[in-house]
């Protein structure tokens, strides 16, 4: 048998052997992959110890928000829980559903999830949001009205972290020019005032720059209605209140008091800011942008604020929105305590107030601490003063997200004149029934 002699690798013209080059490329490739993997992940965070909290949510999207999360929330939490690190992933609201869905499918869900009003029911139903013990509320001083959006089938599945909502604002100068003394107290008064405000180039009321679904729900609440029954298993808006709400919106258009085509586009000033509109239906989180872009329009002298009026039989109200915080089902029993502690920590004034200032929201507390910057936010101040009139109109059922996605086009069809109020409600009822049948 011939002895086989290992041949030496051929040398190449640049002096490196082929084997050395291959080895170099291999090392470079592995090193590059390692660098790439370490760069993956969208959130900042510090991995300090035994329990790293995985956080996911639509807040803290920019560098200012990240700084608040790190210094005002996490670092203060670490004073009592030094072994806890965190990793935060920012996902805007319009991508949150998709992100949570893929997380569920992949079996990798974050520990703490910041979501919105109306999200608790579907995610509690599918098991993503764990039930929270009632004791978690002890001593937090959360306003009872704000807890409504967090309860599903009599169990708490979220805490109302930062609250915002939809309110009406009006241009005082335009009101005074028409001799209108003050905001309306009923829906009929609102319609009358809107008619009086009609003028060349002015659309009296803008209800379409806000979410179509939220606008309809606001008027639904004003008529004393709600979308689903209290148990979330049946339809409630087909009692006449849903149709009345749609008809009211159609009537505003037909009066010439509202214009479906006049809506704020993303990145554009609101029609109200351009003085094309006298009354605006707006979300409280718009305050930072509004006060920055149009400071002269949001002063006490220039702008009035009012609640959505009732129909004469119901109280005025404002629609709760904002951010809720939940614990996911992936949190193991041994880590529950840390997660609960972190969730409670979010309500410490030193952790909550900076977020409220940043986001233009209010902390969900019965008695929020005095804060000059917060009260300079007129929307926040208004909502805090009117917490008793807050209504959790969105959600109410595990089929909420499905219903909302399919119902909004029906409302748009009504607003564009393609169908009447009754037909719209009939179609929305079909949508809701089909969704509920799937439960």
The residue behind tokens 């007129």 is 378
Q: Using CB under 8 A, pick the residue from 412, 423, 426, 429 that binds other proteins.
A: 412
Please choose, out of 3-11, 40-48, 296-304, 404-412, the segment that lies near other proteins by the rule CB under 8 A. 404-412
Which strand (E) or helix (H) includes residue 363? strand 362-363
Which two three-digit tokens encode residue 250?
């159609």
153 contacts other proteins (rule: CB under 8 A): no
What is the nearest approach in angstroms of other proteins to the Cβ of residue 94? 8
62 binds other proteins (CB under 8 A): no
Asked if residue 98 binds other proteins (CB under 8 A), the reply is yes
Smaller CB separation from other proteins, 340 or 433: 433
Task: Report whether 18 contacts 9 (CB < 8 A).
Answer: yes
* DSSP-based three-state secondary structure for 355: helix
Q: In the complex with other proteins, which residue's Cβ is closer, 140 or 262?
A: 262
CA dihedral 354, 358, 362, 367 (to 10 degrees): 20
* Number of residues this chain uses to bind other proteins (CB under 8 A): 38
Judge contact between 321 and 115, C-beta under 8 A: no
Alpha-carbon gap, residue 106 to 126, rounded angstroms: 14
Binders of other proteins in range 364-383 (CB under 8 A) = none
Between residues 269 and 304, which has the closer beta carbon with respect to other proteins?
269
Query: Least Å distance between CB 138 and other proteins?
Result: 31
Is residue 97 close enough to count as binding other proteins by CB under 8 A? yes
111, 339 contact by CB (below 8 A): yes
Instruction: Please state the closest distance from residue 230 (CB atom) to other proteins, in A.
Output: 23
Q: Does 42 bind other proteins (CB under 8 A)?
A: no
Q: What are phi and psi of 165, to 5 degrees?
A: 180, 175
State the nearest-atom distance from the C-beta of 401 to other proteins, in Å.
5
Single residue of 260, 294, 297, 357 touching other proteins by CB under 8 A: 260
Given 12, 126, 299, 376, the residue binding other proteins (CB under 8 A): 126
In the complex, the smallest distance separating the C-beta of residue 216 from other proteins, rounded to whole angstroms, is: 14
| Binds other proteins (CB under 8 A): choice among 16, 262, 302, 341 | 262
The verdict on 426 binding other proteins (CB under 8 A) reads no
Choices 65-73, 232-240, 242-250, 271-279 (CB under 8 A): range interacting with other proteins: 271-279
CA–CA separation, 277 vs 211, rounded Å? 17
3-class SS string, 47-58: CCCCEEEEEEEC
Report the sign of the C-alpha dihedral through residues 221, 223, 229, 232, in that order.
Answer: negative
**Least distance in angstroms from the C-beta of 268 to other proteins:** 6
Q: CB-based burial of residue 260 (10 Å sphere; 0-12 exposed, 13-18 middle, 19+ buried)?
A: middle
Q: Which of 7, 8, 80, 266 binds other proteins (CB under 8 A)?
A: 266
What part of residues 198-217 is at the interface with other proteins (CB under 8 A)?
A: 208
One DSSP character per residue, 83-145 reads: TEEEEEEE--HHHHHHHHHHHHHHT---SEEEEETT-HHHHHHTT-BPPPPGGGGTTT-B-HH
Tell which residue, 303, 188, 201, has the closest CA to residue 247: 188
Among 16, 51, 67, 104, binds other proteins (CB under 8 A): 104
Look at residues 89, 95, 162, 158 and name the one whose alpha carbon lies nearest to residue 122. 158
**Residues from 105 through 124 that contact other proteins (CB under 8 A):** 105, 122
- Give counts: helices (H), strands (E), the chain: 17, 13
Tell me the residue length of the chain: 439
Among 61, 92, 240, 409, binds other proteins (CB under 8 A): 409
C-alpha to C-alpha distance for 125 and 120, rounded to whole angstroms: 8
Q: Is 330 in the site for other proteins (CB under 8 A)?
A: no
Interface segment toward other proteins; rule CB under 8 A; list 221-229, 280-288, 373-381, 409-417? 409-417
Binding of other proteins by 51 (CB under 8 A): no
Determine if 10 is a binding residue for other proteins (CB under 8 A).
no
Residue 289 binds other proteins (CB under 8 A): no
Judged by the rule CB under 8 A, the positions of this chain that interact with other proteins are: 97-98, 101-102, 104-105, 122, 126-128, 208, 260-263, 265-269, 271, 274, 276, 401-402, 404-406, 408-410, 412-413, 415-416, 418, 435, 438
């Amino acid at each position: 048998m011939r002895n086989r002699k290992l041949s030496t690798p051929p040398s190449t013209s640049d002096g490196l052997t082929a084997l050395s080059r291959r080895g170099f490329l291999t090392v470079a490739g592995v090193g590059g992959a390692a660098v790439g993997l370490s760069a993956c992940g969208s959130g900042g965070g510090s991995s300090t110890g035994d329990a790293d909290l995985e956080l996911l949510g639509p807040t803290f999207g920019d560098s200012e928000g990240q700084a608040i999360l790190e210094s005002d929330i996490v670092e203060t939490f670490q004073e009592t829980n030094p072994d806890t690190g965190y990793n935060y992933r920012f996902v805007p609201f319009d991508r949150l559903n998709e992100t949570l869905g893929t997380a569920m499918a992949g079996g990798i869900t974050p520990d703490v999830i910041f979501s919105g009003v109306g999200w608790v029911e579907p995610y509690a139903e599918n098991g993503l949001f764990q039930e929270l013990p009632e004791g978690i509320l002890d001593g937090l001083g959360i306003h009872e009205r704000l807890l409504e959006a967090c309860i599903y089938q009599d169990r708490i599945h979220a805490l109302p972290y930062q609250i915002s909502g939809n309110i009406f604002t009006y241009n005082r100068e335009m009101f005074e020019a028409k001799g209108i003394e003050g905001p309306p107290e009923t829906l009929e008064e609102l319609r009358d005032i809107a008619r009086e405000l009609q003028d060349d180039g002015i659309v009296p009321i803008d209800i379409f720059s806000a979410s179509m679904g939220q606008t309809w729900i606001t008027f639904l609440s004003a008529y004393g209605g709600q979308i689903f029954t209290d148990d979330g298993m049946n339809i409630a808006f087909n009692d006449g209140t849903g149709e009345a709400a749609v008809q009211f919106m159609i009537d505003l258009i037909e009066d010439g008091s509202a214009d479906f085509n006049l809506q704020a586009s993303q990145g554009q000033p609101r029609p109200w800011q351009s003085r094309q509109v006298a009354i605006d239906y707006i979300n409280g989180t718009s305050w930072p942008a509004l006060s920055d872009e149009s400071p002269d329009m949001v002063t006490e002298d220039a702008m009035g604020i009012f609640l959505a009026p009732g129909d004469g039989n119901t109280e005025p109200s404002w629609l709760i929105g904002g951010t809720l915080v939940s614990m996911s089902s992936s949190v193991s029993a041994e880590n529950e305590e840390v997660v609960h502690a972190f969730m409670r920590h979010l309500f410490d004034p030193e952790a909550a107030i900076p977020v409220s200032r940043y986001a233009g929201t209010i902390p969900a507390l019965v008695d929020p601490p005095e804060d000059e910057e917060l009260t300079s936010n007129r929307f926040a101040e208004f909502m805090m003063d009117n917490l008793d009139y807050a209504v959790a109109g969105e959600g109410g059922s595990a089929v909420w997200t499905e219903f909302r996605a399919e119902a909004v086009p029906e409302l748009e069809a009504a607003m564009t004149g393609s169908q009447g109020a009754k037909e719209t409600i009939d179609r929305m009822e079909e949508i809701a029934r089909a969704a509920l049948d799937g439960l």
